[in-house]
């Protein structure tokens, strides 16, 4: 694969302020190994199961009707879309060579999902402020490798903005401490 590389020496051999771009034939990073059809089927099954769980949860909330939507309307629509997309992935499991095999870097995704599950589990009990602060901090500092200062300031800022928007301005009935 070809890539563009700067020629910082220029035609006379001296360094230039602006790099002159040229085509290099050096190989770019190798792609991770392909996941294969079985991994693609497993991923499709997970999407279908999540969609099915969303549909079941939405029906428990009450989906309502098209003229009078209930609280479960959007979860029902999203769940149905997930099921359809999961089935489409399953049909194309053999054709897709673009999916990558699960590697150690995929653990970041698993950590993000686990932190979201913990967030949802505690938000109704202790309000959204502390879980939102912790979730934002963990994602910024440990998953995003931001500095401690940036992670703390941004996390606090996110909570302040969310509180002002949802509790103060929109008067949304979400669990909160203050």
Would you list the DSSP string of 84-140? HHHHHHHHTTTT---PBPP-GGGHHHHHHHHHHHHHHHHHHHH-SHHHHHHHHHHII
Q: What is the pLDDT averaged over residues 118-136?
A: 92
At 32 the pLDDT is 67
At 22 the pLDDT is 55
DSSP state of 66: S
pTM score, two decimals? Answer: 0.54
Residue 65 in contact with residue 114, Cβ under 8 Å? no
Backbone CA torsion sign across 153, 158, 164, 167? negative
Summarised one tens digit per residue, pLDDT across range 13-42 is: 554 554 555 555 555 566 667 777 888 888
At 21 the pLDDT is 55
Low-confidence winner among 3-17, 65-79, 102-116, 154-168 (lowest mean pLDDT):
3-17
pLDDT band at 162 (very low <50, low <70, confident <90, very high): very high
């Amino acid at each position: 694969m070809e890539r563009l590389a700067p020629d910082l020496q220029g035609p006379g051999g001296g360094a230039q302020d602006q790099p002159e771009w040229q085509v290099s034939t050096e190989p770019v990073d190798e792609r991770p190994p392909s996941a294969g059809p079985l991994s693609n089927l497993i991923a499709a099954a997970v999407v279908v199961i999540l969609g099915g769980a969303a549909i079941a949860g939405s029906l428990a909330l009450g989906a309502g009707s098209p003229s009078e939507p209930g609280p479960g309307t959007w979860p029902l629509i999203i769940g149905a879309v997930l099921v359809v997309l999961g089935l489409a992935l399953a049909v194309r499991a053999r054709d897709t060579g673009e999916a990558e095999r699960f590697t150690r870097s995929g653990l970041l995704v698993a950590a993000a999902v686990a932190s979201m599950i913990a967030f949802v589990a505690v938000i109704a009990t202790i309000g959204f402020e502390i879980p939102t602060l912790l979730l934002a901090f963990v994602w910024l500092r440990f998953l995003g490798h931001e500095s401690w200062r940036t992670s703390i300031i941004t996390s606090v800022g996110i909570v302040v903005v969310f509180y002002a928007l949802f509790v103060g301005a929109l008067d949304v009935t979400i669990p909160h401490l203050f």
